[in-house]
Amino acid sequence: MNNKILIVSSNYYTQISNNLEKGTIDTLQEHGFDYDLINAPGCFEIPYLIKKNIDKYEGFISLGCIIKGETYHFEVISNETSRKIMDLSLEYNIPIGFGILTCYNLNQAIIRSDTNQKNKGREAALACIQLLK
């Protein structure tokens, strides 16, 4: 295993994912970690990409955004994605920083991804780093 972290980022909401990626990358660089970044078409595909690469990295960071619409789809994608990411972390005993936003509207996502506000990419990176120590 190399000493890198894999960032798996859903780029469905480009502005949000770009902000989350910046917060994550800046934090990893501040702490001296190497990383690779791959994109997923949506959050639901993130667990597949983590599992596909599980033996190649010492940790992972999942990034994305799910915004509630008018149907139950929001709950299904949010719940199943987070559940599978937790399952992978426990099954393979590997840290996975969780930076997937689950918001009721775009404004909430903008605030939670803003690098000058509550950037959850930074928080996910810090969680992964702490678990690796």
Tokens of 122: 């930074």
Q: For residues 79 and 39, what is the distance between their CA atoms, to the nearest angstrom?
A: 20
The residues annotated as belonging to the active site are 73
Q: What is the largest CA-CA distance in the chain?
A: 43
Alpha-carbon span 72 to 54, nearest angstrom: 30
Provide the β-strand partners of residue 10.
Answer: 40
